[in-house]
Structure 1
Amino acid sequence: MKLLRLYELLLDLYGFQEWWPVDTQYHNRMGTDPRDEVIIGTVLTQNTSWKNVEKALENLKREGELSLEFVRKVSLERLKELIRPSGFYNRKAIRLKTVAEFIKPTDKVKTLSREELLRVKGIGTETADAILLYAGGGLSFVIDKYTQRFMKRFMGIDMNYDELKDFFEENLPKELEIYKELHALIDEHAKRYCRSTPLCEECPLRSFCISASPSS
């Protein structure tokens, strides 16, 4: 199956995900940059669930400010407390400080290369690609554990991070919306059906999946 066809199938099932989610009303009211929320979120979501990230983001909005400027000026200890719900908060607070200093001003994100981001301590491949795609508007497809698991089962494609990233980028139209939406749609499907223990019998894509037996 071609990736564009997969995108169409998932879009029919779930509709536009409009990922990365940001609180535009908050940023309009505060005069802050919504891209800051994306960048902060990419760090906070490392090794945790999105629900935990949302709790940390709410803390920042309620008791501080959801901006890179606030991350730069707030004390490290206070930042740790605010982002505690995201887990690994000691490490993530330091990483946030480093990233906030590196991406200064926020508009710098539009011109950063992947190689530059990967040289920043605490930014790995997934975080770098998420920043480039969702904050920088760059055509850098994001690979995560959901994508790797789904592609291995659905299409029999078992690749490492960069190999799978190249596969997507070589087989998709160079359109920002498709990059963003396909990544989010695969994640949505993986969370619903293609779990660690897959729900093949209930999966609406079962007939297209090479690992789902016809009798499942």
Structure 2
Amino acid sequence: MNRESLLLDMFAAMQNELGNSEWWPAESAFEVMVGAVLTQNTNWKNVEKAIHALKDQKMLTPQAILALPQDELAALIRPAGYFNVKAKRLQNLLRWFQETADYSFAALDTFSTDDLRAELLTVNGIGQETADSILLYALERPSFVVDTYTRRIFNRHSLVEEDIYYDDLRDYFMDVLPQDVQLFNEYHALVVRVAKEWCLKKEPRCETCPLQPFLE
């Protein structure tokens, strides 16, 4: 079986078991952008608390966040953890957004996906996973997001090396799958859900996993 067929069959098996994921939970593209920074090294429940705090103070706009002193922003996003670091990273991203597009998502349409990804990666504190999350979930660009869950599942299926580089793991999917935003969105969401329910770091539940038929 070729790689495209295998990956699509694995996708179908996960989706048949779990149904649609409907990611990313947010009211706007900007909220997704903020959440992509806040979710670094924490769980989504903590991110939601931080976003709600920004909303309660009517601070969930790029202009308001950039105008806040960094310590005040850190206090608002405290539930997300690493709040001092994330406040700085978030303001770095929004400063880039202002300088590059004057806070306009439409203005970013002039960039190719590759060029926009390269631009995002110049922002201090925006790594590959965060950049791809912004591209896919906020900007609706076909940029596949991979993470520790992706690495764990596909390594356990003997498809990739455990120490594979991020870009090589991303290319493992992007080189063969249709460049489809909805497919990439749902694929990443399903991988995360399967990893949390079955492909646990310790004591994986392989026998009942929807991907069990694909184990060698």
| TM-score, shorter chain, exceeding 0.5 | yes
RMSD: 1.5
Count of paired positions:
200
Contact 2:10 2:211 in 1 (8 A): no
Secondary structure at the counterpart of residue 5 of structure 1: helix
How big is each residue's C-alpha offset from its partner over 1:175-198, in whole Å with a ceiling of 9 and x where there is no partner? 110011101110110011101011
Give the superposition deviation at 1:155. Answer: 4.2
Q: Establish whether residue 203 from structure 1 lines up as the match of residue 206 from structure 2.
A: no
Give TM-score, length-normalised by structure 2: 0.87
Equivalents in 2 of 1:16, 1:75: separation in Å?
Answer: 40
Q: Paired residue for 2:85? A: 91
Deviation at 1:122, TM superposition (A): 0.5
Find the aligned partners of 2:160 and 2:170 in 1 and give their Cα distance.
12
User: Whole-Å Cα distance in 1 between the matches of residues 17 and 61 of structure 2?
Assistant: 34
After superposition, residues 32-43 of structure 1 pair within 5 angstroms as 34-43=28-37
Q: Is the 8 A contact 1:40 1:68 kept in 2?
A: no
- 1:202 is displaced (CA, Å) by 3.1
In the alignment, which residue of structure 2 is the partner of 1:156? 159
Q: 2:47·2:79 contact (CA, 8 Å) conserved in 1?
A: yes
1:47 matched residue in structure 2: 41
Partner of 2:187: 182
* Contact 2:13/2:210 (<8 A) preserved: no
Distance 2:194 2:108 in 1: 29
Partner amino acid, structure 2, of 1:120:
V
Match of 1:20 in 2: 24
How far did 1:136 drift?
A: 1.4
Tell me what 1:2 maps to.
6
Equivalent pair of 1:154/1:208 in contact (CA under 8 Å): yes
Task: Note the C-alpha offset of 1:147.
Answer: 0.7
Q: Identity, % of aligned pairs?
A: 41
Distance of 1:155 and 1:17 partners within structure 2: 26
Counterpart residue number, 1:135: 138
Given residue 53 of structure 1, which amino acid in structure 2 is its aligned partner? V
